[in-house]
Chain A
Amino acid sequence: MKKIRLYYEEHNKGPMKLLWQHFAPQHFAFFGLIALLVLVSLALITPVLTPHDPYLQNSQLLLLAPSWQESGLVSYPLGTDDLGRDLMSRLMLGTSYTFGLAILAVLGSLLIGLILGCLSGMSKGVKSSIFNHLLDLALTIPSLLLAIVIVAVLGPGLINTIWAIMLALLPQFVHGIRNAIMQQLKLDYVTAYRLDGANNRQLLFSVILPNIWEQLVLMGTMALSTAVLDIAALGFLGIGAQSPTPEWGSMIADSLDAIYLAPWTVALPGLLIFTTVLAINLVGDGLRVAMKKRREN
C-alpha cells in the first residue's frame, strides 16, 4: 500500500536503503541474490534434506541416467555416479563443501586481512614500506602455486586446502584494505577528527571502518568467487578434497573416466559451480553499479 503523505515532510533515506533502492531494480543482480540465499540455506541445512545418503553406494544402480531419460528413476532425480551414489544428494551436500567452505575461507581471510591491513594502513615510514613490498611479492605468487606449496607442506585434504585458500586470498585483502584506509586518511574529515583530538584507535574504529565496510563487501564477493573456483580446481586436480567427500570439483575428476557413458556426471557438478560463481558475480556487479548510482545521485 502506498504511503499516504498528509503533509509535506522531508524523507531522507539512509545509505543502506538507498543502496537497496538502486540494487533491487537490477533484475539479474536480484535473481543472483536470491540464488545465493538459496545456496547458503542449502549449505546450512543439507544434511537433513538429502533424499538419499550421499555416501551410500548402491552396486545395483551404477551410472543410472537422470530421471528425464527413459532409463532413469524418479527416486534418483539426477541419476547416480559410477559407485551407485545418488548424484542429487551428493550435489546438495557438495554445496556445504564447495560453497560453505569457500565462505568460511573468505571470512577467515577477511578477518586476518582486516587486522593486518589496519596495522599497515595506519602505520607510516620504513616499517610500512617494507611491509608493502612484502605484500607485493605475496601478490605476485599465483594462488594455485601457493596452494600447491601449502598442500605439499601439510599434505592433501580439505582442511589444508582451506588454509591454502585463506593464505592465497590474504594478500589481496590486505592490499585492498590498506588502499582503502589510505584513501580515507587523505580525506578532510579525518583531519578534522584528528584536530579534535582522536587517537589512532578511535579514528580507526569510529571513523574509518564504518566508511570502508562497503568496499570490504565488494572485495569479499570477488574473493568468494575466486575461492569457490580455487576450491573446485584443487579438488579437480586431486590435491584438495579427497573422495569420498562430495566436493564438486573432485566429483568431476572422479567421473572423468565415465565421460562417454555418463556425461551428466561431469556436466552437472560443473554446472553448479558455474551457477554459484555466476550468482556471486551478479551480486557483486549489482552492488558496484548500485554504489555508483547512489554516489551520482
Chain B
Amino acid sequence: MMLHYLLRRLFLLAFVFVALTIFAFSLNYLFPGDVLSNFTGLRYISPEQETALRRILGLDQSYLQQYIYFVRRILDGQWALSFSSQQNVLTEILLVMPATLELASYALLLSMLLGIPLGILAAVRKDKWLDKLISALALVGYSLPVFWWALLLIMLFSLTLGLLPTSGRLSLLYEIDHVTGFMLVDILLSDVSYQQAALKDAIRHLLLPAVVLATYPTTVMIRFTRDSMVEVLEQNYIKTARAKGLTRLQVLFTHGLRNALLPVTRQIGLQFSALITLAMITEVIFSWPGIGRWLIDSIYQRNFPAIQGGVLAVSCLVIVVNMLTEILHTLFNPLARRF
C-alpha cells in the first residue's frame, strides 16, 4: 500500500522534472541573444568551434533530439558556462547553494519553534486579549515588506546600536576551509585555534538575516496553526474526550495537537517556495553569498546560462522539498493512508 503510493509519487516527480527541463530548454530559445552562446555559455565562438558545437548540440536536428541531448548534458553535470566567469554553472551553484540552505533552514526552524506554540496559545485563549495581541502581531508581520523590514533592523541594530554586522557570513579575520558549505558545520569540523571566536562571529552574522527571513513564515505559521487548532477544538471528538473526564491540558496535547498539526506540516512544505523568494531578497540586502544574490547578480549582468541553471537548480530543490514534506505528511496521517 505504502509502496504503491511511493511509486505513484516518484512517477509524478519524474513527470514534473520532465516538464521543468522542457521549460529550461525552451528558455535557451526565449532568451535574447545567440542560441549557441545561450546553450554553451561561451562568449567568443570561433567558426571551427561553431560547426563542432552545432553538431554536439544537434542544432541541425529536430527540437526533440536537441532536447534529449540537453537532458543528457544536464544529467552528466555538463551545464553551460557562466558568461561572466566562464566556469561551469553547476559548480558555481553548488558553491553558493549551501549558504542559502543554511539561512533558509535556520529561518524555517526559528519560525516553527516560535510560530507553532504561539498559534496554539492563541487558539486556546480564543477571543481573549492574548489571542488578539498575537493575531495583531502576526498580521503586522505578515504585511511587512521584507526589504524594508531588513533595512529598519539594520538601521537599528547595526548602525545605531552597533551590535550586529550588516553583511557577509563571517568576518574577514577568520579563515575557515570550505568542507560542506554550511558555515557552522564547517567551523565545528575545522580545528583552528580561533574556533570559539569564529563560531560566535558566524552566529552574529547569521542572526539578523535569519530573523528577517523568519518573520514571514512565523506569521503564516501562527495564523495557520491558530485556524487549524480552533477548527479541531470545535470537533465532536474533543467534546467526547472532555466528557470522558480528561482535563483540558490532556485533551489538548493528546487529541488536539496531533490533529491540528497535520495540516501544518503540509503547509511547511508549501511555505518553502515563498521562503526561497524572500531569501533571495534578504541575501541581496545582507550581501549573503547565497544562490539568491548570485541569481540577482546574473540578471543584472544578463548572464543567461547562469539564470537558466539557477532556475533549474532552485526549482528542483523546491520540488524535492515539497515532495518530501508530502510523503512525511502521508506517513504521519492515518486518514491519508486510505488512498
Contact = CB atoms under 8 A, between A and B. Distances in A.
B93 interface: no
Nearest to B284: A237
A136 B284 contact: no
Contacts of B15: 133
A152 B31 contact: yes
B299 A148 contact: yes
Interface string A267-297: 1001101100110111001000000000000
A277 B155 CA distance: 22
Contacts, number: 114
Given A237-B284, A270-B148, A270-B151, A145 B277 contact: yes
Given A142-B318, A145-B277, A151-B299, A233 B143 contact: no
Interface residues of A, number: 43
Given A151-B299, A152-B299, A142 B314 contact: yes
A112 B171 CA distance: 50
Contacts of A249: 145, 147
Interface in B60-77: none
Contact of A144 (B152, B155, B159, B280): B280
Interface string B271-298: 0011011001100100000000001100
B135 to A, nearest CB: 8
Contacts of A281: 139, 142-143
A260 B154 CA distance: 12
Main secondary structure of the interface of B (DSSP, over half): helix
Interface string A81-108: 0000000000000000000000000000
B335 interface: no
B336 interface: no
Contacts of A280: 143
Nearest to B135: A285
B19 interface: yes
A282 to B, nearest CB: 7
A191 to B, nearest CB: 24
Nearest to A228: B145
Contacts of B302: 152
A149 B151 contact: no
A238 B300 contact: yes
Interface in B300-316: 300, 302, 304, 307, 311, 314-315
B96 interface: no
A277 B145 contact: yes
Interface string A17-42: 00000000000000000000000000
16 contacts: A133-B16, A137-B20, A139-B273, A140-B16, A142-B273, A142-B277, A145-B314, A145-B315, A151-B299, A232-B147, A252-B148, A260-B159, A263-B155, A281-B143, A282-B139, A285-B139
Given A153-B30, A155-B32, 16 more contacts: A140-B315, A141-B273, A142-B274, A142-B314, A144-B280, A145-B311, A225-B143, A232-B147, A236-B147, A236-B281, A237-B281, A237-B296, A252-B147, A266-B151, A273-B148, A277-B145
Give 3 closest A-B pairs by Cβ, nearest first.
A270-B148, A144-B277, A278-B143
